[in-house]
Amino acid sequence: MRKFPKTLPVAISLEHLPMTETDLKQICLDWEVLGFPFFRPAVVMDWKTETLPLGKSRLDLDLILKLRFWQSLSDWILPEWYSRKQTNQLTELLRDQIFSKDRENKPNSLSGLWNRFWNTPLSLIWLDLGFTKLRMDLDLEQDFFSNAIPLSFDGEKKLYFRTGYLKAIHYRLTKKEFKAPYPKFAELYIKTRDKHKDESLGGVYYSFIGYLLEKKSDEYLLSYWGFPSKLANYIRNQVPEEIWNFTNLTKTLLWKEKNLLGKELEFRTVYQVSTSSPNHLR
């Protein structure tokens, strides 16, 4: 039986927008909190703003559009026509949102703060949590950290991956539990030194960069689960596949991670969850 495509990648670019990059980025950050609701069922995988002369800016987005059967059939029969049609529709939708005078998602709107409050993960349950330390020539954009400097050792940066299976996510009043096969989940840190406003240097820490899943094509789910810190594509493309080479331990162990808002490794303590603990998942 012939398999039709289930998703369609779409790239959108708007240039010479009549606003500064700072204003455009703030608009996108507010949309990101809500998961870019006007695009649904399309999901924004990554977005980037760029400053242009004369106070103008540019916006690039990468999306994944889920296709129903008849949409998949249309894409299979006329792929170029269907892709161009969907790109034009999503582009016009984005243009309408940017230039709408009555934009619903205003910066720091009450609805945005409310959704962020209830949909932000507070703790994780890991299965078979482990870690990998490695050194590599990771390419980062200039001024990636506002108050820290990534350290280099012989031209390479020290990275720290925490990897394991994602068993559950706890929110304020709800929790999301996963069933086997559990998604392979990871956090990425990089060794940095604090940089103060007076240009003096402080302590050395492993600073948090973001979350990732084993399958890059699945990482649009991170925003659905409430994780705002998805790795930028240019960083994700540099992550070696070897970090996922871990297997189940003989004795399955559950670990609970609290305080997910911490930005440094020292503040993201993980506790083993025993089978007699009231936190144990049954």
Exposed e or buried b per residue across 124-145, where buried means at least 16 C-beta atoms within 10 angstroms of its C-beta: bbbbbbbbbeeeeebeeeeeeb
| pLDDT at residue number 281 | 39
The pair of three-digit structure tokens given for residue 163, joined into one six-digit string? 């990897």
| pLDDT at residue number 120 | 85
For the chain (282 residues), the mean pLDDT of every run of 10, in chain order, is 68 87 85 82 88 85 78 67 82 83 49 72 90 87 77 88 93 90 92 79 85 86 80 85 76 81 74 56 36
pTM comes to 0.59
| pLDDT at residue number 227 | 85
| pLDDT at residue number 67 | 74
Any idea of the CA torsion for 166, 168, 170, 176, to the nearest 10 degrees?
120
| pLDDT at residue number 150 | 86
Amino acid at 257: E
| pLDDT at residue number 112 | 59
Task: Report the Cα 188 to chain-centroid distance in Å.
Answer: 12
| pLDDT at residue number 244 | 92
